[in-house]
Amino acid sequence: MWVYLSFVLFSTWKFMFTPMAGPAADLSFLETFLCSMTGGLISVSIFYFGSSFFMQRFQKKQAKKAEKAIAQGKVFRSKRFTRNNRRIIKIKHRIGKWGVCWLVPLFFSLPLGSLITAKFYRHQKNTFSWILLGMLINCTLITGGTYLVDFIV
């Protein structure tokens, strides 16, 4: 079980695939579910509450790039609205807060999804609760599906 738990903690970015190792490790549904939720909770907590640190770090890095380009006599234009940013904004407008809190951490990754959700909704007080609820639903569906397929096969 401890080997599996460490696997879960270090592979939280593969939240969709982590429960698939449970039947292979001969663990029960509850053990797999709890290990996946624990790893996800740790990852989401670190990246959601640390998002301001990561965003400030990114802004400082962009400022250094701009200073370096200006010092070399080049024109610096930061890419603020890239194709990926457009895609994220379209998804945000299409599925709303609940969808962002539920689906973005699932399909992108828990760390990246937590950062994106915190960037858009960190000032709303129940956002972290919505992320946890979405993670609970996702973990239940994925682990249940994994054990259902394992039972059928």
pLDDT, tens digit (0-9, with 9 covering 90-100), for 33-84:
988 888 888 888 998 898 888 888 888 988 898 888 888 888 777 677 788 8
**pTM for the full predicted model:** 0.73
pLDDT confidence tier of residue 5, bands split at 50, 70 and 90: very low
Q: What single-letter amino acid sits at 106?
A: L
Alpha-helical (H) ranges within 17-109 are 21-24, 29-49, 51-71, 83-107
pLDDT digits (tens, 9 = 90+) for 97-128: 888 888 877 777 888 888 888 888 888 889 99
| Surface-to-core class of residue 125, CB atoms within 10 Å of its CB (0-12 exposed, 13-18 middle, 19+ buried) | exposed
**CA max distance for the chain:** 65
